[in-house]
Amino acid sequence: MNLEMIQFFFQLLALLAIIIGTVFSISGVLGLIRLPDVYTRLHATGKVGLFGVVFLLIAEVFLTPAIISKGLVLIILLIIGGPAASHALGSAAYRAGIPMKQAIRDDLRDSGLHSE
């Protein structure tokens, strides 16, 4: 297990992470086009689309170990900030009265917890 082997292993992991991140980005944009509703589109872009960037940053951490701190700070910031922004947008859409298509029931309206 010399240094060259470790470098080759890291490059292999980075290649895998780049491919997985590209597939995540493609499926996020596909969900943005194809899904029928604001809330389901928010689900596609907020979770799936975000992980494209996260996997590319994982590839960056594997490829350049000298600047590992910037990549790790960005991963933590994106994982905390992305779902918070998506939740704010979903709450704003519900308060603005945008309808849900193909919805069977609305638990938030029935429970009475949501104040108008």
Partner 1 sequence: MEQILSIALNISLAIHLVLIAVCVWRVWRGENLIDRIIGLDMNATLIMAILVLIALITMNPVYLDVTLGLAALGFISIVALARYIADHKMF
Closest by CA to 44, choosing from 58, 59, 63, 24, is 24
Q: How far is the CB of 73 from partner 1 (least distance, A)?
A: 7
Q: How far is the CB of 55 from partner 1 (least distance, A)?
A: 9
User: Helix, strand, coil: what percent of the chain each, to 5?
Assistant: 80, 0, 20
**Positions that interact with partner 1 (CB under 8 A):** 8, 11-12, 14-15, 18-19, 21-22, 25-26, 28-29, 32-33, 38, 41-42, 45-46, 49-50, 52-53, 56-57, 59-60, 63-64, 67, 70-71, 73-74, 77-78, 81-82, 84-86, 88-89, 91-93, 95-96, 98
Q: How far is the CB of 113 from partner 1 (least distance, A)?
A: 16
Q: Is 102 helix (H, G, I), strand (E, B) or coil?
A: coil
Instruction: Say which residues have a Cβ less than 8 Å from residue 17's Cβ, sequence separation at least 6.
Output: 55, 56, 58, 59, 62
